[in-house]
Structure 1
Amino acid sequence: METNLAVLVDFENIAAGTEKEGLGRFDVEALMGRIKDKGRILIARSYADWGRFARFKQALLMSNVTMMELTSHGMQDKNRADIAMVVDTLELAFTKDYIDTFVVVSGDSDFTPLVLKLRELNKRVIGCGTRASTSRLLIQACDEFFFYDTLVQRQSQQRSRRRPPTAGKQVLHKDDAFSVLINAIEGLQRENPDPPLASVVKGAILRKNPDFSEADLGFSSFARFLEAAQKAGYAKVIRDQKSGGYRVDSVESPNTEPTSAPAASDRWMDDRLPRGSEKWVLLLAEEGLNPLAASTRLDLLQAIEEAVAERRRRRRRISIQYVQEDVRKRLRRIHPNLPPRNIRAIFKGLMLAGVLLHRDGSPVRSTAAPFVLEKTAEELNLALTNLYLSFLNDNSADLTATTLLTELFLGNVERVREIEEIVAWISAHDDDDDEEERQEEEDDDDDDVDDLNIDDLLTFDDQTDDVLLEVDAEEDEADAVEETDDDRSAQNDADIDDLSDDALFSIDATEEVEVEEAAETGEPPKSAE
């Protein structure tokens, strides 16, 4: 999708800067031609008192730039153009949603808040100014910044006769530019290990170095810059068959040599390593903890200490990402061939050792998190030594050669006593751990026995309850039978009683009849007989 641009030129600032720095008459055509490379220009406005700059009107007209008239009324009109330009820019940002990129042509630091506000509104900002007159604040605020000086030099097509940079503003050296390239590639590959597209790399470079320009280094395009980096051994350019473009990869990346074993590329060892220590170094390197030789490691730790102190003094952010880059620059002279992965390995060790702390005292676990460093380089080395020896011990490495271990980790065999004490402490700690594990196993066994006895008791109680319930049921049944028998006996007795009463009643009635008959006949009754 094509980028839609709005160009706003602080003409008084840029024209005065070119004349002051000896760059000749301001070249409107060259500027607008360069901006057109960035996208489609929809709006172009230039702010000035055109009575003073009437000689530029024709060039502006030919380049389709609208001239915003700001007639001067005295000596206090310096900021009138700035205010008008800010108001118009914000109006465009709020009313023209289709404009996604603003080009601010000025070197005045007063425009820094405007640039920050545009970025807050999700607008991309490209800046342009002269090298000597442009504020560093404005450069850092922009997403991208290019210098008018470089533009004019390219336009002249006479690179051999270019003007030297003005004092105080240095052009990036090629080696430094290649280092910036490597940093951008590695930063992108932290998120995605695949080689990034060249355009993505360029964008990453500009995010960190808005004033980066391959033209300052003598290259006609970014592709030529990448070719030079490849020839110098800093990067590898790969043709992307799918997109038709190019991808850029670090020379040290395993992506550049897929047929080789990954471990082989990580087995860099400097010539300061003591002979016989390779087995320990390789074991640590496989875990991403390449310890380096003691002297190299101490140089690196000293650079870390100095870089952190410098950032603290300047009140700049202190995180592994930033300090790591500072350390690489500091080591460039004394260890020019030290691979970046080995620097990262030391920082990984410091993180695992828990010596890089948050302000609350907890160890950091992210390279982007700010940290506090309270130890010296020597104290950091001792922390790493403890970490390395613990790791080797956990991996069943032989730690009896304490003199060689001392030479590897401390660099001074006279300090062998320190290594012996660390190894002894680690061994004792392992014994304690083993004893704790055995005790835990025994406790677990006891718990199992206790659990089994409880289960048995519970089972016995359940069985007892079942038996008791059966007995109770039988007793209830017997009681019911007994009650039934009693009821039957009672009924029989009642029947007998009823029968006896009836019999007696019958006898009495018979006797009464006999007595009556005897009275009538004068004979004694039969029952009397």
Structure 2
Amino acid sequence: MENNLAVLIDGDNIPSAYVKEMMEEIAKYGNPTIKRIYGDWTKPQLSKWKNVLLENAINPIQQYGYTQGKNATDSAMIIDAMDILYSNKVQGFCLVSSDSDFTKLATRLRESGLNVIGIGEKKTPEPFIVACDRFIYIEILGSHPKQQESENNVDKDKKKQSVDKVTPKVINLISSTISDVADEDGWAFLGDVGGLLQKKQPNFDSRNYGFQKLTPMISSISNFEVESRENQNGRFKLIYVRNRA
């Protein structure tokens, strides 16, 4: 049975250009039965959202800023999240924001046994990232709409700049993870490696480094060996990896 997800979006901290790609990504992890976005819709900076809300069946929640300098949107999201939690209608949450104010909320939801996926920009503070089971940077979710042909090269340059380098620290993380789940010969099933990497570092994603999947990423690093094996039925290929001696 597919997990039902509550998708709560902080309209003040997420660009509207990525909505389509974001909803496609969320669908990989469950069925988004509740989709709400919070913000003060009287503000002109949120006007770009209005065109995409109907297309993606996202329910806008009006939240006025009652006090100068205070973010009422955060409070509204947190209150709704707790109401949804106690309704027992979902098995997981997707919190879409780059704001560290949702760190405590993510922690509380996980304490209740629910899976929490975070989505935000690369500027998202580390405490919120590690409070989630998985954190996805919105910049890697495909290409956002381009308004003019002349902007294409600029967008491509931005895309290149957003790709992280595979540093020795990243290689060491992968290497130690392979060792953690390897058999006596040093081989580890890639699925187990990927799962443990996610637990160790919620924002680990091969797309951050320019690779759509983990297999080509590890294959590109000379420190590792990759082996393809047939399963017992011979219908599927199983990928195994190990550290080079």
TM-score by length of 1: 0.40
Partner of 2:161: 164
Higher-RCO chain (CA-CA 8 Å, sequence separation at least 6): 2
Distance 1:66 1:187, change over 3 A: same
Question: Does residue 1:205 correspond to 2:197, yes or no?
Answer: yes
Question: Does residue 1:91 correspond to 2:83, yes or no?
Answer: yes
Partner Cα distance (1:69, 1:135) in 2 = 26
Partner of 1:12: 12
State the Cα deviation string for residues 181-236 of structure 1 (Å, max 9, x = none): 2221212238x98854433321211111112121121112223224334xx24132
Distance 1:51 1:242, change over 3 A: farther
Partner Cα distance (1:210, 1:14) in 2 = 19
Asked whether the 8 Å contact 2:93–2:115 carries over to 1, the reply is yes
Partner of 2:59: 66
Structure 2: runs of 5 or more not aligned: 147-151
Question: Does residue 1:250 correspond to 2:242, yes or no?
Answer: yes
Give the letter for the 1:86 counterpart: I
Partner Cα distance (1:213, 1:154) in 2 = 19
Give matches, 1:19-168, under 5 Å.
Answer: 26-52=17-43, 53-73=46-66, 75-76=68-69, 78-97=70-89, 99-132=90-123, 134-153=124-143, 161=157, 162-165=159-162
Say which SS state the counterpart of residue 13 (structure 2) adopts.
helix
Partner of 1:422: none
Asked whether the 8 Å contact 1:70–1:80 carries over to 2, the reply is yes
Asked whether the 8 Å contact 1:70–1:81 carries over to 2, the reply is yes
Give matches, 1:434-453, under 5 Å.
Answer: none
Give the letter for the 1:186 counterpart: S
Partner Cα distance (1:69, 1:152) in 2 = 29
Compute the displacement of 1:51 (Å).
2.0
Partner of 1:373: none
Partner Cα distance (1:209, 1:62) in 2 = 33
Compute the displacement of 1:144 (Å).
1.0
Partner of 1:221: 213
Asked whether the 8 Å contact 2:224–2:241 carries over to 1, the reply is no
> Counting strand residues as a fraction of each chain, which structure ranks higher?
2
Partner of 2:149: none
Say which SS state the counterpart of residue 193 (structure 2) adopts.
helix
Say which SS state the counterpart of residue 180 (structure 1) adopts.
helix
State the Cα deviation string for residues 437-489 of structure 1 (Å, max 9, x = none): xxxxxxxxxxxxxxxxxxxxxxxxxxxxxxxxxxxxxxxxxxxxxxxxxxxxx
Partner Cα distance (2:79, 2:164) in 1 = 34
- RMSD in angstroms over aligned alpha carbons? 2.9
Partner Cα distance (2:227, 2:86) in 1 = 42
Give the letter for the 1:33 counterpart: E
> Counting helix residues as a fraction of each chain, which structure ranks higher?
1
Structure with greater Cα Rg:
1
Distance 1:114 1:172, change over 3 A: farther
Say which SS state the counterpart of residue 62 (structure 1) adopts.
coil
Say which SS state the counterpart of residue 46 (structure 1) adopts.
strand
Distance 1:173 1:233, change over 3 A: closer
Say which SS state the counterpart of residue 104 (structure 1) adopts.
strand
Identity, % of aligned pairs? 26
Give the letter for the 1:4 counterpart: N
Give the letter for the 2:79 counterpart: V
Aligned residues: 234
